[in-house]
Amino acid sequence: MKANKVIYGNIYTVDKKKPKAAALAISDGKFVYVGDEEGVKEYIDKDTEEIRYDEGIILPGFGEGHGHIAPGGTEALFFVHLSPMGTLEEHLAAIKEFIKDHPELDVIQGSGFIPTPDMGPKGPTADLLNGLTDKPIVLADIGHHSYWVNHPAMERLGIDRNTPDISDGIITRDDQGNPTGYFREGAMDLLKELTVFSVEQYKEGFLHYQEEYLAHGETLILEPIINWDTTDNAALACHELDMEGKLKMHVYAAYQVFQAEGHDTMAEIEHAAELRKKTKGRMFELSNIKIQIDGTMPGTPSTAYMKQPYTDPWSVEHQHHGQLRFDMETLIKIYKKSHELGFTVHAHAIGDGALCMALDAIEKALEQTGSHDYRDAITHLQVVDRADIPRMAKLNVIASTDPHWFDFDPEYFQMMVAVLGEERAENQLPMKAFFDAGVTVTSASDYPVTNPAYPLAGIQKGVIRQLPGRPDTLHNAGERVTIEQMIEATTINEAYQMLCDDRLGSVTVGKEADLVVLGDDITKCDSEHIQDSPVLGTMVGGEWVYTHA
């Protein structure tokens, strides 16, 4: 067999059977040879394109285990971007400017704020946004766990003091019971109607994301909430791009289901199965059900679910553990039903209580259905009870970790100590412990929570757990992992999580030819400069989808 392309270089295959190679050959979009230079000769004829890289390293294409490209791509194009460390005054100035520049938008959307004391004791309020515009304004916090909205937004949707509370969220109210304009967790659903994007806007957003991230070597992604705005628009947009041959990344997606008022969880899983059938193509597949078991932290109050109560005065007084968005019975049903319909379950758990609950539910579901190969993942894993890690290995549950979050600004860390206490605060976001226990570990950024979220930055952060040159940001040093482990987490393990490791994730004969060429050998360079390595080229299915100019 003759090859279309032969590439020579320092190839790190991430295939345990043959980790190193000096040459590879590609035919019909697949690797047909991986080995030494001598052996590749028989694949070459006069039409074969030969490329040689004398420096750097060639790796399988990078994966992203949890990146919200549906809202992220559209946000990049159609949102006002608030700076997390900005003051209220700076936020208002940015919004004002954006409104002036975007007269075409019917709803003003934005993201990125952190609730600061100058916004008020109960978080930001609609009053703060008075006088900016008569159009609705909907602003998401940096972690997308709350909306800060103006009065026109609430008026358009008829939200007032008579709007009933939501069991899996918080409508912040004043003393008279009027919503103040700050909606958290499940209560954000009340505003979703204002955050809908069209199929066309999603297509534009995806292409924007794709162009940027292919240039950083990313070829595979799990979009964890394809129905972010409660519509099917984002899934339909991916499908259309796939049919038009414009989707160059492999995109797997999850459909989020809920338990709260107004939701029929099982019907939502069935809808996801229908949508999967309708949209499955060569590059896109809806393959996961997403559940958000708990919330986040720190907050007033924190909503991530803990085994032990939070340590801030209010939480101590109320013995507050956080907030669960599912009960055990429903969780077990979700796991069973999802597996029955061929879905993997992707669960958000920030607190150790939520993680434990997910594992209990998986264990009980498996007792009833027998073992399976759905590779359920649990993501974020910020506070983890060590006793639960061997259970993850035993149940073959994937640890979808967030290396981009592994450093802590000292001021932010003190906020964590205030709500978690010293011990829990110091042991956040483990990674090595999962590897040591034999758990399959993947890497995720939660883009656009982390933005930008380039794979090399994640790899570097996993290795050093601090900002370059900033030892004061080092967190939990004992959980540093090796560069090889980070590469594994970002390539083959991502493919394993997305059930496509039989055709993606390593440079192996028979697999699709997805790879990234880096200018520096990141396995040898100074670990504070991994993220500075230039991406010389990205290939998907044997075709260059990015080359360095």
Helix (H, G, I), strand (E, B) or coil at 221: strand
Q: How far apart are CA 287 and CA 41, in angstroms?
A: 40
- Which residues have a Cβ under 8 Å from the Cβ of 74 and sit 6 or more positions away? 197, 201, 202, 204, 205
Q: How far apart are CA 136 and CA 152, in angstroms?
A: 5
Please identify, using beta-carbon distances, which residue of 268 and 446 lies nearer to Zn ion.
Answer: 446
CB of 288 to Zn ion, least distance (A): 12
CB of 221 to Zn ion, least distance (A): 12
Q: Answer whether 419's CB lies under 8 Å from 315's CB.
A: yes
Residue 15 or residue 446: which is nearer to Zn ion going by CB? 446
Gap between the Cα atoms of 65 and 382, Å rounded = 16
Cα 173-316-176 angle, rounded to 5 deg: 15
Structure tokens that stand for 225 in this block: 């909430």
Q: How far is the CB of 446 from Zn ion (least distance, A)?
A: 4
Residue closer to Zn ion, measured from CB, 108 or 383: 383
Sheet strands (E) in 468-542: 515-518, 535-540
Find the shortest distance in angstroms from Cβ 421 to Zn ion.
26
Instruction: Give 446 or 488: the residue with its C-beta nearer to Zn ion.
Output: 446
Please identify, using beta-carbon distances, which residue of 123 and 224 lies nearer to Zn ion.
Answer: 224
Minimum distance of Zn ion from residue 427's CB (angstroms)? 22
Instruction: Determine how β-strand 30-35 pairs with β-strand 20-27.
Output: antiparallel
**What minimum distance in Å lies between the beta carbon of 489 and Zn ion?**
17
Is the Cβ of residue 388 or residue 446 nearer to Zn ion in the bound state? 446
* Distance separating the N- and C-terminal Cα atoms of the chain: 32
Residue 238's nearest CA partner among 287, 190, 195, 191 is 287
Would you say 354 or 507 has its CB closer to Zn ion?
Answer: 354
Contact pattern for Zn ion over residues 421 through 460, marking x by CB under 5 A: -------------------------x--------------
Question: Which residue number, 91 or 404, has a Cβ lying nearer to Zn ion?
Answer: 404
Question: Would you say 60 or 73 has its CB closer to Zn ion?
Answer: 73
* Nearer to Zn ion (CB atom), residue 446 or residue 501: 446
Collapse the DSSP code of 109 into the 3-class scheme (helix H, G, I; strand E, B; otherwise coil) and give the result: strand
Give 148 or 405: the residue with its C-beta nearer to Zn ion.
405
Give the H/E segment covering residue 173. strand 169-173
Cβ distance 326 to 436 under 8 Å? no
Query: C-beta of 68: minimal distance to Zn ion in Å?
Result: 6
**Count of residues touching Zn ion (by CB under 5 A):** 1
Chain residue at closest Cβ approach to Zn ion: 446
15 contacts Zn ion (rule: CB under 5 A): no
**Residue 219 contacts residue 62 (beta carbons within 8 Å):** yes
Cα distance between residue 378 and residue 402, in whole Å? 11
Q: With helix as H, strand as E and coil as C, how does 431-487 read? A: CHHHHHCCCCEEECCCCCCCCCCCHHHHHHHHHHCCECCEHHHCCCHHHCCCHHHHH
Element holding 268 (H helix, E strand): helix 265-279
Rounded CA-CA distance 343/375 in Å is 10
Q: Residue 311 Cβ, how far from Zn ion at the closest point, in Å? A: 26
Whole-angstrom CA distances from 541 to 28, 174, 522, 548 are 8, 56, 24, 18
Chain positions 31 to 60 lying near Zn ion, rule: CB under 5 A, are: none
Query: How would you class 417 by CB atoms within 10 Å of its CB: exposed for 0-12, middle for 13-18, buried for 19 or more?
Result: middle
Look at the alpha carbons of 493, 494, 497, 501 in this order and tell me if their dihedral is positive or negative. Answer: negative
Judged by beta carbon, residue 185 or residue 446, the one nearer Zn ion is 446
Quote the least distance from Cβ 77 to Zn ion, whole Å: 20
Which DSSP state fits 512? B
The binding site for Zn ion (CB under 5 A) comprises: 446
